Amino acid sequence: MDYHNKLVLAPMVRVGTLPFRLLAAEYGADITYGEEIIDHRLVKCERRLNEILGTIDFVAKGTKEVVFRTCRAERNMVVFQMGTADAIRALSAAQIVCKDVAAVDINMGCPKSFSLSGGMGAALLSKPELIHDILTTLRRNLDTTITCKIRLLASSQETVELARRIEKTGVSALAVHGRKVKDRPRDPANWNEIADVVASLSIPVIANGDVFEYEDFGRMKDATGASSVMVARGALWNTSIFSAKGKLPWDTVKKEYVRKCILWDNDIKSTKYTVKEMIIHHSCLELAEGKAVNKSDTYMDLAKLYGEEDYYHFITMNRP
């Protein structure tokens, strides 16, 4: 996968499912990361071809739970992001999914307690030997692009030193979120420290943090020297941020997201979560729309709410 001059959808838990990734790609994203999947979950999955939807599903054995869903249309742009703290388990998990994705990325930046408590995400930042073990194990045993995503460490020097160690493992690219573990989303991203990493490496660096308008892609690229730029919240709030023609009204984007969720039979809880996150930024869940989303138990409910009943009936009636 080429990591130069790309607009990248960042991994977002419960958001980065197939419909959202395809919507981002439709608006102009070049690379789309899925939501983080923990290795423990993936090793308990089996690969199934879903002939009704035309998807490739990784389903928890003995259940109907779809842990990860992809399709051939995104084969060359989707990145599977994994949470792990064990090299052998990471390899076992990656082997299950690697032939259906463009790359496998190891999450080394998530500051959430569920990741930290399992020794995953940002907990890896203080374990360079384990990082090296995980990445080199994947690189030596898979014919697949391997990358990872980190956060800034306490000092720029420490971040650069870790980034250099990561580069030596042979990964194809490194994504850097311009915040430290203790920082909150409201704290400004430190583009200068991302620039320090870029200047110290020869592999592509993907810069992440505080991209809210299409113009910010160029601003961040110029400020950091990064090969590509990644966006999370800006894409969640209005996925058409990837469009060079300018953002569409968020109501339009929201309805298109709901349509894609209906088309790809996305988990209704995931869909409702994402729609509510969109609403929270632009409005309030205590108003009529937010209350209606909360009460929606089925896609028919959401279709009625957003005036998409005809689309819902067309899709459901024409499925095999």
Closest CA to 132 of 76, 171, 83: 171
Cα–Cα dist 257/204, whole Å: 31
Domain end marker among 197, 219, 242: 242
The percentage of residues in the chain with a pLDDT greater than 90, rounded to a whole number, is 94
Domain boundary among 191, 211, 242: 242
160 shares a domain with 45:
yes
Q: Are 151 and 177 contained in the same domain?
A: yes
Domain housing 257: 250-317
Question: In this structure, are 83 and 167 located in the same domain?
Answer: yes
- Kindly state whether residues 256 and 130 are assigned to the same domain: no
- Is the pLDDT at 114 greater than 80? The verdict is no
Residues in the chain: 320
| Residue 177 and residue 127 share a domain | yes
* Tally of domains in the chain: 2
Angle between helices 268-282 and 288-295 (to 10 degrees): 170
Neighbour-count burial for 184-214, b at 16+ CB within 10 Å, e otherwise: eeeeebbbebbbbbbebbeebbbbbbbbeeb
pTM above 0.95, yes or no: yes
**Is residue 2 one of the residues assigned to a domain?**
no
Phi, psi of 100 (to 5 degrees): -110, 5
45-50 and 55-60: which strand pairing? antiparallel
Structure tokens at 141: 């045993």
Does residue 208 sit in the same domain as residue 285? Answer: no
**Same-domain status, 306 and 158:** no
DSSP string covering 150-200: EEE-SSHHHHHHHHHHHHHTT-SEEEEEEEETT--TTSPP-HHHHHHHHHH
Q: Are residues 62 and 16 both part of a single domain? A: yes
Residue 1 within a domain: no
Q: What is the pLDDT of residue 118?
A: 86
For residue 103, being part of any structural domain is answered with yes
Lowest-confidence segment of 48-57, 153-162, 177-186, 192-201 by average pLDDT: 177-186
Calculate the average pLDDT of the chain. Answer: 96
Pair 136, 33 in one domain: yes
Query: 206 pairs with which residues across the strands?
Result: 175, 228
CA 179 and chain centroid, separation: 17
Chain position carrying tokens 């709410």: 305
For residue 254, the one-letter residue type is K
Amino acid at 31: I
Together in a domain, 185 and 95: yes
What span, in angstroms and rounded, lies between the C-alpha atoms of 263 and 260?
Answer: 5
Domain end position, chosen among 242, 265, 286? 242
Q: Which residues are catalytic?
A: 110
* Angle between helix 191-200 and helix 156-168 axes, rounded to 10 deg: 40
At residue 92, φ and ψ (nearest 5 deg) are -60, -40
105, 11 contact by CB (below 8 A): yes
Strand partners, 311: none
pLDDT tens digits, 64-93: 999 999 999 999 999 999 999 999 999 999
What is the spatial distance between Cα 213 and Cα 73, in angstroms, rounded to a whole number?
A: 26
